[in-house]
Chain A
């Protein structure tokens, strides 16, 4: 299993644990903008990140020289996804309780990073999805 896949999967597992822990807080009635963080840790941080890691590992090879396409795009996907998610996890509760320009602009940056993660993933994986 390549290094990037291992990092994707292990980070995904951490997101899963964090999300479920957050679910406990939500069950006790703590909200404060945490519900969207909970959902996105589960669906983006866990499910999507796990899928990205497995696709990078197991989809048909790009070429003999570069079987997994661009490593750089792969790492860009990883960093953007997790930085975007982290910024969201910090700024969204802040913005919902005490809106200010710092948390507001942090959410904008988070939005850009999360979209960039998807774009980098699709660019790197598109040509590996092909008939044999």
Chain B
């Protein structure tokens, strides 16, 4: 597994844990109310699990597994994909601040769009037949 995939996948594991923790707090609050503001964790729960866990894991595994080039950089423009990693995680963390700063939601989402575009640019040509 490449170093960048290790970062993507391990980061996705951390978001899985955080997302499940927040989800657990909300579910427990529904069962035996102990702290009403726990229900405000819903946007974080969704952001961490959908973007932080599922999408980030997909980026990491795709970067590891899709066909490599036989000439030049085996995994193509790796710096673009590192930048995608930075944008994705900055976007998730900025979007997580939306409870305190409502505009952070849009800024974080915009960074996530940037991350997706960078990932697509960095990977597009690797989606090819083996050996091509």
Residues of A within 8 A of B (CB): 43, 47-48, 51, 59-60, 88, 91-92, 95, 101, 103-108, 110-112, 114-115, 117-119, 121-122, 125-126, 129-132
Taking a contact as CB atoms under 8 Å apart, the answer to whether B28 and A118 are in contact is no
Q: Pick the most buried of B2, B6, B16, B27: most chain A CB atoms within 10 A of its CB.
A: B27
Chain A residues lying within 8 Å of B49, measured Cβ to Cβ, are 43
Taking a contact as CB atoms under 8 Å apart, the answer to whether B27 and A107 are in contact is yes
**Which parts of B1-50 form the interface with A (CB within 8 Å)?**
1-3, 5-6, 9-10, 13, 16-17, 20-21, 23-25, 27-28, 30-32, 49-50
Indicate whether A131 sits within 8 Å of B1 (C-beta atoms), given known contacts A105-B31, A110-B27, A115-B24: yes
Indicate whether A131 sits within 8 Å of B32 (C-beta atoms), given known contacts A88-B27, A115-B20, A119-B17: no
Taking a contact as CB atoms under 8 Å apart, the answer to whether B32 and A105 are in contact is yes
Q: In chain B, what residue has the closest Cβ to A129? A: B9
A15, chain B: closest CB distance, angstroms: 16
Q: In chain A, what residue has the closest Cβ to B25? A: A111
Residues of B within 8 A of A (CB): 1-3, 5-6, 9-10, 13, 16-17, 20-21, 23-25, 27-28, 30-32, 49-50, 53-54, 57
Chain B residues lying within 8 Å of A108, measured Cβ to Cβ, are 27-28, 31-32
Contact with B31, one of A60, A106, A131 (Cβ below 8 angstroms): A106
Indicate whether A47 sits within 8 Å of B10 (C-beta atoms), given known contacts A95-B30, A108-B28, A115-B21: no
With A51-B57, A129-B5, A131-B3 already in contact, 9 other A-B pairs whose C-beta atoms are closer than 8 Å: A48-B53, A48-B54, A105-B31, A107-B27, A110-B27, A111-B31, A112-B24, A122-B17, A129-B9
Nearest first, the 4 closest Cβ-Cβ pairs linking A and B are A107-B31, A111-B24, A111-B27, A104-B31
Chain A residues lying within 8 Å of B31, measured Cβ to Cβ, are 91, 95, 103-108, 110-111
Contact with A131, one of B2, B54, B57 (Cβ below 8 angstroms): B2
A48, chain B: closest CB distance, angstroms: 8
- Complex: A114 Cα to B54 Cα, angstroms: 17
B89, chain A: closest CB distance, angstroms: 16
B98, chain A: closest CB distance, angstroms: 20
Chain B residues lying within 8 Å of A88, measured Cβ to Cβ, are 27
- Complex: A4 Cα to B50 Cα, angstroms: 25
